[in-house]
Amino acid sequence: MRRREFITLLGGAAATWPLPLSAQQAERVRRISALMNVAADDPEGQARSTAFAQELQQLGWTVGGNLRIDYRWGAGNIDEIRKYATEFVALAPDVILATGSMTLGPLLEATRAVPIVFTLVPDPVGAGYIDSLARPGGNATGFLLFEYSISGKWVELLKQIAPGVTRAAVVRDPAISSGTGQFGAIQAVAPSFGIAELRPIDVRDPGEIERAVTAFARSANGGLIVTGSLGAIIHRHLIIKLAAQHRLPAVYPERFFVKDGGLISYGPDVLEQYRHAAGYVDRILKGEKPADLPVQAPTKYELVLNLKTAQALGLTVPLIIQMTANEVIE
């Protein structure tokens, strides 16, 4: 047999030989779509996505290896979020991660088949997203932002850190059920803490926020309570600046407001929610159904104080707050 014919024959035979076992059992790459409600350059959004990916890695998943995550950043734009929701369904992911009610609603409109794990949703039962906390039903489960009763704690903190406050402006989003729910909870307890006047301030537009806070600050003994909403997150630097400019003691719902210069916050550990969400995603990828995974409320809350901001406002922080704070920024 001539040499060229022998090599050709050998090559053809090799093509029919069995592949190594490792090649036959190449691991399937699973796909997650993550719809975030903030902008891509928001440091808080980056911290959340990092916590999510790191926890998945701890659970044995490797981004770029056996796992792919496609992120989209809604930046509070409902039209963009609806577009991304439709786009995600076309990508046919194994699981979708949804941040907040603004993303969860459009995603459920787009699909009732793809599993969804949500974070930071205040009232999923009231909004009709799930059947119950214990048995969600359908294709979505996840983690509550907090219960409305936490709003009473914000009133208490405001009075503890600034006892002279008798008026409070409540920064809220009236377009979402949690905005009215949190405001209602504050109304229920405010008189018992000596708050005689409550004034809602909507977070729809920066100009509206600035005008409303400026008008409120013209009278004495005022303070701010910033409730949990996407609008407050997006406009947080403006709200923090106005509180400092008008010397208004302010209580915020999450730690990163205080890291950015706010006075004090009390709320759930948000990054912990993304780590827990990774655990639910892992369980779904391994065969469990969202309908069978209970929606969980936060178990870890943080009290964070910015001592530098307190000093700038001329406030003497009670020892009890300094002792119980999870973090004091100086």
Parallel, antiparallel, or unpaired: how do β-strands 222-226 and 264-268 relate?
unpaired
| pLDDT tens digits for range 80-133 | 999 999 999 999 999 999 999 999 999 999 999 999 999 999 889 988 999 999
Pick the CATH number of 30-145+270-299 from 3.40.50.2300, 2.40.128.20, 3.30.390.30, 3.40.50.920: 3.40.50.2300
| Cα 86 → chain centroid | 21
CA count, 13 A, side-chain hemisphere, 9: 6
Q: Give me the residue spans of the domains in the chain.
A: 30-145+270-299, 150-268+302-329
Percent of the chain clearing pLDDT 70 (strictly above): 92
Say what the pLDDT of residue 165 is: 98
Mean pLDDT of 11-33: 57
pLDDT at 14 exceeding the cut of 70: no
Give the confidence band of 175 by pLDDT, cuts at 50, 70, 90.
Answer: confident
Give the confidence band of 8 by pLDDT, cuts at 50, 70, 90.
Answer: very low
The 167-172 sheet, strands edge to edge:
197-202, 167-172, 222-226, 250-252, 264-268, 301-306, 327-329
Say what the pLDDT of residue 204 is: 86
Percent of the chain clearing pLDDT 90 (strictly above): 82
* Equal fold, 30-145+270-299 vs 150-268+302-329: yes
Task: Assess contact for 232 and 253: CB atoms under 8 A.
Answer: yes
Q: Does domain 150-268+302-329 have CATH number 3.40.50.1470?
A: no
Burial class (CB in 10 A: 0-12, 13-18, 19+), 73: buried
DSSP state of 175: T
Rounded distance between C-alpha atoms, residue 328 and residue 315, angstroms: 15
pLDDT at 18 exceeding the cut of 70: no
Say what the pLDDT of residue 200 is: 95
Say what the pLDDT of residue 113 is: 96
Mean predicted lDDT score pLDDT of the chain: 90
Mean pLDDT of 199-207: 93
Say what the pLDDT of residue 211 is: 97
